[in-house]
Structure 1
Amino acid sequence: MAHGDDGGGGRGMGGEGDHLVVVTGGPGSGKTTLIDHLAALGHARTPEAGRAVIRDQREIGGPGLAWKNDRLFAELMLAWEIRSYREALAWPGPVLCDRGIPDLVGYHLLRGRPVPEHVAEAARRFRYHRRVFVAPPWPEIYTGDAERHQSPEEAERTHRAMAEAYPACGYEVVELPRAPVAERARFLLDALEGSAAQ
């Protein structure tokens, strides 16, 4: 499955989604804390689809939860990510994306099943900045909460799945340092500036 080619009618690298910067990784790795920090500095951001879907489904007693129907959960996350992508296109950059559409490729890999063609097509069609930032597992800061049911071991597997999915979709993965949030933020912004200069 060739995810990396641009089958998206002009949405290739350096295209209209180039200001959308994905931060991904396993749960509990500090990625949302980093995005919250950058948002406080004035950067636009998108929410994490998985958490949003869980909150919505719990509120209405819906079946679209990973521990009830993981395929429906994946479809709801995909729809959320596409909507977030389209909204964020209109915002000035950089926009920090708390995960992205290729995370759904990783989700299917994590579940040990083939990536559906419509998910692969979404990953081809809706393109982000070519550099994707991955927060590595960080057991010392990992905590569970009402929306995070994964074990630290599943968090590690999620990280590996995302680190595989994004290169398969044609992105350059940059691993974030295990460092205080301000240092992580500076690392990310410096890497973006270096990318722009290339």
Structure 2
Amino acid sequence: MPGPIRAVVTGGPGAGKSTLLAELAQRGFSIEEEAARAILQGSEGMALRERDPKGFAEAMFARELVSFKRAGERDGATIFDRGFPDTVGFLRLEGLPVPEMMDRICRDTRYSGPIFRAPPWWEIYRPDEERIQDWDQARASDAAVCAAWRDYGYELIDLPFAEVAERADFVIKCLD
């Protein structure tokens, strides 16, 4: 019998990932929230990202490991807001080396479900307190994280440019 399904929604900031995951949670799916946003919402999160991008990446990766393990204890599908290769994409975008341990985990600890990409979507992109990138930086982030996922052998499925309910229907159909 196959293990638990671990699917991911990835892509650049402001492409509707968190909104989609909230919709999927309302429909009864287990969700693992974005590690970066959780860190940024902490009292020292923004300062950590600004003064120590490597430390920020390590904190994200540690949270992703906890989420991955927690999902393995559930029946059914878990859908993650980003995953291990997203951290690699962040490091590359920052011009920082990828630690051997992160690279090894990305190669050896695999997500078993589809990897959905929320492509950059100008009409819905809005900066906020944690989403500090401008449009061009958001597109560069999308390119970096998608390249990292592909480098680790994953195929990405682009989500449609559609209302959140239609996007959720698309994800559910792909999971069936």
Same-fold status (TM-score > 0.5)? yes
- Shift of the 131–63 alpha-carbon distance from structure 1 to 2, 3 Å rule, reads closer
Cα deviations by residue, 1:87-134 (Å, 9 ceiling, x for unpaired): 111112211100011111111221233322111012123211252101
Match of 2:96 in 1: 113
Query: 2:7 is matched by which residue type in structure 1?
Result: V
* Contact 1:26 1:158 (C-alpha < 8 Å) held by counterparts: yes
Match of 1:43 in 2: 29
* Contact 1:85 1:126 (C-alpha < 8 Å) held by counterparts: no
Match of 2:170 in 1: 187
Match of 2:147 among 161, 164, 185: 164
State the distance in 1 between where 2:79 and 2:105 align.
19
Match of 1:70 among 47, 53, 65: 53
Structure 1 runs not aligned, ≥5 long: 1-13, 194-198
* Contact 1:27 1:148 (C-alpha < 8 Å) held by counterparts: yes
- TM-score, structure 2 as length reference: 0.93
Matched, 1:53 2:39: yes
* Contact 1:22 1:129 (C-alpha < 8 Å) held by counterparts: no
Query: Secondary structure in 1 aligned to 2:50?
Result: coil
State the distance in 1 between where 2:155 and 2:135 align.
25
- Shift of the 175–63 alpha-carbon distance from structure 1 to 2, 3 Å rule, reads closer
Query: 1:43 is matched by which residue type in structure 2?
Result: F
State the distance in 2 between where 1:162 and 1:133 align.
12
State the distance in 1 between where 2:70 and 2:54 align.
25
Counterpart mapping for 1:120-135 below 5 A:
120-135=103-118
Match of 2:72 in 1: 89
- TM-score, structure 1 as length reference: 0.83
Structure 2 runs not aligned, ≥5 long: none
| Equivalent residue pairs, number | 176
State the distance in 1 between where 2:163 and 2:98 align.
35
RMSD, matched Cα: 1.8
* Contact 2:5 2:113 (C-alpha < 8 Å) held by counterparts: no
Cα deviations by residue, 1:130-180 (Å, 9 ceiling, x for unpaired): 521010001111111111111111110111012111111111111111110
| Most deviating of 143-152 and 78-87 | 143-152
